[in-house]
Structure 1
Amino acid sequence: MLLKGVLLDIDGTLVDSNDAHAHAYVEAFAEHGYDVEFDQVRPLIGMGGDQLIPRIVSSLSGEEGEGKEIADRRKELIMQKYGADLAPTDGSRLLIEKLKQSGYELVISSSATSEELSVLLKAAQVDDLLDQNMATTSSDADASKPEPDLIEVTLEKGHLKPNEAIMLGDTPYDIQAANAAGVAVIAFRSGGFSDEQLAEAIEIYDSPADLLAHFDQSPLAQ
Structure 2
Amino acid sequence: MALDGVILDIDGTLVLSNDIHAQAWVESFASHGYDVPFEQVRPLMGMGGDQLLPTLMAELSEDQEPGKTIASDHKELVLTKYRPQLKPTAGARELVQALMEAEFRVIVATSASDRELEVMLKVAEVDDLLHETTSSSEAENSKPAPDIVQAALKKAELDPGRVVMLADTPYDIEAAGKAGVKVIAVRSGGFSDEELAGAIAIYDDPADLLHHYDRSPLAQATAV
Is the TM-score greater than 0.5? yes
What is the CA–CA distance in structure 2 between the aligned matches of 1:63 and 1:216, rounded to whole Å? 46
* Deviations, residues 27-47 of structure 1 (Å, cap 9, x unaligned): 111111111111110000000
- In the alignment, what sits opposite 1:44? 44
What is the CA–CA distance in structure 1 between the aligned matches of 2:146 and 2:172, rounded to whole Å? 9
TM-score of the aligned structures, taking structure 2 as reference length: 0.96
- In the alignment, what sits opposite 2:24? 24
What is the CA–CA distance in structure 1 between the aligned matches of 2:201 and 2:22, rounded to whole Å? 26
1:169, 1:185 within 8 Å by CA — same for their partners in 2? yes
What is the CA–CA distance in structure 2 between the aligned matches of 1:161 and 1:182, rounded to whole Å? 9
What is the CA–CA distance in structure 1 between the aligned matches of 2:198 and 2:13, rounded to whole Å? 17
- 1:165 aligned to 2:163? yes
What is the CA–CA distance in structure 1 between the aligned matches of 2:32 and 2:72, rounded to whole Å? 12
What is the CA–CA distance in structure 2 between the aligned matches of 1:47 and 1:160, rounded to whole Å? 24
What is the aligned counterpart of 1:156 among 151, 154, 164?
154
1:127 Cα offset (Å): 1.1
Structure 1 residues not aligned, in runs of 5+: none
**Percent identity (aligned):** 58
1:84 Cα offset (Å): 2.1
State the Cα RMSD in Å: 0.9
- In the alignment, what sits opposite 2:199? 201
1:3 Cα offset (Å): 0.7
The one-letter code sitting in structure 2 at the alignment partner of 1:28 is S
The one-letter code sitting in structure 2 at the alignment partner of 1:3 is L
TM-score of the aligned structures, taking structure 1 as reference length: 0.97
- In the alignment, what sits opposite 2:134? 136
- 1:72 aligned to 2:68? no
- In the alignment, what sits opposite 2:179? 181
* Deviations, residues 124-183 of structure 1 (Å, cap 9, x unaligned): 11111111xx21111211110001111101100111010121000000000000011000
* Deviations, residues 84-111 of structure 1 (Å, cap 9, x unaligned): 2211111111100100100011110001
Equivalences for residues 98-109 of structure 1 within 5 A: 98-109=98-109
What is the CA–CA distance in structure 1 between the aligned matches of 2:64 and 2:109, rounded to whole Å? 23
**Number of equivalent positions:** 220
Structure 2 residues not aligned, in runs of 5+: none
What is the CA–CA distance in structure 2 between the aligned matches of 1:209 and 1:5, rounded to whole Å? 19
What is the CA–CA distance in structure 1 between the aligned matches of 2:120 and 2:64, rounded to whole Å? 25
- SS of 2:193's equivalent? coil
The one-letter code sitting in structure 1 at the alignment partner of 2:43 is P
What is the CA–CA distance in structure 1 between the aligned matches of 2:130 and 2:9, rounded to whole Å? 12
1:2 Cα offset (Å): 2.6
